[in-house]
């Protein structure tokens, strides 16, 4: 039976516009049956925004050029392991969140090479800080996982392996002491409530040649 004039079609006569996703994964309605235009990589706050995994080749090119980028993970795809010059966010993403992440990656890129730990000396951007022997295990773990949350239990195990105490109160105190040593070399240690601690590059990079007051 044809649809009644003046009334919208229903049932199998109803026509709905096909839906697609924009470049950040948000579901949108297409107004016709034409295929969506391919989404080219864009830039936000001077940082490339790439789709993952669609723009995997672009990601490799950015890594080779040592250029920062933010990956927008589409659908249920697992996010990749990221480097110091990368970050990721799952689509759909709030433009303000995307801008903030791009700006953070841009800051990290401007700070140059990641910190290194060599024979008890934490070195970053030409500055250095001496790390006590009992805290070296924790510092190694934090440096290896720069930009990622390290669970308190993992830090406790690392402290015990270096001859320190694995008691939570002792670990908390050791982390606080580490945090004071890190500030002069352009690093900061943040507590992530209920999860652990995060080592990251501070917003302001230190000048070359400075030394930590905690070393005296």
5-41 per-position pLDDT tens digit: 555 455 444 444 445 454 444 444 433 333 333 355 6
The contacts of residue 94 (CB under 8 Å, 6+ apart) are none
User: How far apart, in whole angstroms, are the C-alpha atoms of residue 39 and residue 64?
Assistant: 22
- Mean pLDDT for 53-82 is 91
Instruction: Identify the DSSP state of 15.
Output: -
Please provide residue 190's backbone torsions phi and psi, each rounded to the nearest 5 degrees. Answer: -110, 145
As a whole number of angstroms, the distance between CA 115 and CA 24 comes to: 32
59 within 8 A of 66, measured Cβ to Cβ: no
Do the beta carbons of residue 98 and residue 44 sit within 8 Å?
Answer: yes
Using DSSP, how many helices (H) and how many strands (E) does the chain show?
5, 12
CA distance 115 to 42: 30
DSSP letter at 167 equals S
Q: What is the pLDDT at residue 208? A: 34
Alpha carbon distance 21, 187 (integer Å): 39
Mean pLDDT of 162-171: 87
Question: At 87, phi and psi to the nearest 5?
Answer: -150, 165
pLDDT at position 156, please? 93
Question: What's the mean per-residue pLDDT of the chain?
Answer: 77
**Of 2-16, 114-128, 149-163, minimum mean pLDDT range:** 2-16
Q: Sign of torsion, CA 30 35 41 42?
A: negative
Instruction: For residues 101 and 121, give the distance between their C-alpha atoms in angstroms, rounded to a whole number.
Output: 30
List the domains of the chain with CATH numbers. Answer: 42-109 (no CATH), 116-215 (1.10.10.10)
State the Cα–Cα distance between residues 206 and 187, nearest whole angstrom: 9
pTM strictly above 0.85: no
Contact 50, 40 (CB under 8 A): no
Instruction: Return all residues near 166 (Cβ < 8 A) that are at least 6 apart.
Output: 156, 157, 159, 160
Coil, strand or helix: which one is 213?
A: helix
pLDDT above 80: residue 49 = yes
């Amino acid at each position: 039976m044809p649809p009644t004039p003046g009334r919208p079609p229903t049932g199998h006569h109803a026509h709905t516009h096909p839906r697609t996703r924009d470049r950040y994964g948000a579901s949108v309605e297409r107004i016709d049956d034409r295929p969506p235009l391919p989404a080219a990589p864009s830039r936000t706050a001077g940082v490339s925004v790439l789709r993952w995994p669609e723009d995997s080749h672009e990601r490799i090119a950015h890594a080779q050029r040592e250029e920062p980028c933010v990956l927008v993970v589409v659908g249920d795809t697992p996010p990749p392991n990221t480097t110091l010059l990368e970050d990721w966010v799952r689509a759909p993403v709030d433009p303000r969140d995307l801008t903030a992440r791009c700006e953070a990656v841009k800051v990290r890129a401007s700070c140059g090479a990641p910190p290194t730990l060599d024979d008890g000396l934490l070195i970053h951007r030409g500055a250095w800080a001496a790390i006590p022997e009992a805290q070296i295990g924790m510092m190694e773990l934090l440096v290896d996982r720069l930009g990622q949350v390290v669970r308190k239990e993992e830090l406790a195990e690392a402290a015990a392996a270096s001859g320190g105490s694995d008691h939570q109160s002792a670990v908390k105190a050791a982390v606080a002491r580490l945090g004071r040593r890190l500030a002069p070399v352009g690093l900061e240690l943040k507590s992530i409530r209920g999860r652990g601690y995060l080592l990251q590059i501070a917003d302001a990079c230190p000048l070359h040649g400075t030394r930590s007051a905690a070393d005296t």
